[in-house]
Amino acid sequence: MKAPAPLEALTEALRRLPGVGARSAQRFAYHLLQHDREGAALLARALSEAVTRIRHCSRCNTFTELEVCETCSSPRRDPSQLCVVETPADQLMVEQTMAYNGLYFVLMGRLSPLDGIGPKQIGLARLLERAADPALREVILATNFTQEGEATAHYIGELLRARGLKVSRLARGVPVGSELEYVDPSTIAQAMRDRRSV
């Protein structure tokens, strides 16, 4: 006896979620079919919608439904500052501090040579192109304060300084070893104010 094929397929598909193993996937599948078929249908639609409608902003690379995201096209943002973050989640976190009014570039990753993630994989060419904007005065590196984030910041810093840009890094008010997404906004605000040239 085996579980019916569509149930097996659903369990298998749920394992694509990060950190979800065979047991959890089965628990998710059974829960949805037993107790929340409406939720399952809703999730199916949300996934299709997101995959179809979410793309990357052509300027800053963040998730958006538009060709150019709302932040990049806002006249209220200061075009002389560019904050480089690893993920859209990090960008949201910086926004929540209300301590920054410039623009962003989202790497969608970090340098990680051991995992085969080099400058090409995180699209550094696009960042350099973006950084050629004559309105730009300063690039603020807000990658995570992990080893990989620091290495990424260092690498990007070298490249941008060589192009004559002022480059700064969030101050080490942020606890070393932690990820932006999990730090409280006031700590990030402090680090934004104390950013230093590198």
Distance CA 13, CA 105 (A): 32
Cβ-contact 170, 144 below 8 angstroms? no
Q: Position of tokens 């040239």?
A: 197
Q: Which of 58, 79, 95, 173 is close enough to bind a copy of itself by CB under 8 A?
A: 95
Q: Taking the complex as a whole, how short is the minimal distance between the CB of residue 196 and a copy of itself, in angstroms?
A: 26
Q: Which of 21, 22, 31, 125 is close enough to bind a copy of itself by CB under 8 A?
A: 31
How many residues touch a copy of itself under the rule CB under 8 A: the total is: 56
Please tell me whether residue 171 binds a copy of itself under the rule CB under 8 A.
no
Cβ-contact 164, 136 below 8 angstroms? no
Please give the C-alpha separations between residue 58 and each of 46, 68, 145, in angstroms, as whole numbers: 23, 6, 27
Please tell me whether residue 12 binds a copy of itself under the rule CB under 8 A.
yes
Please give the C-alpha separations between residue 32 and each of 29, 41, 116, 130, in angstroms, as whole numbers: 5, 9, 37, 44
Q: Which of residues 35-74 bind a copy of itself (CB under 8 A)?
A: 36-37, 39-54, 63-65, 70-71
Q: Taking the complex as a whole, how short is the minimal distance between the CB of residue 59 and a copy of itself, in angstroms?
A: 14
Q: Catalog residues that contact a copy of itself under the rule CB under 8 A.
A: 1-7, 9-10, 12-14, 16-19, 26-34, 36-37, 39-54, 63-65, 70-71, 87-89, 91-92, 95, 108-109
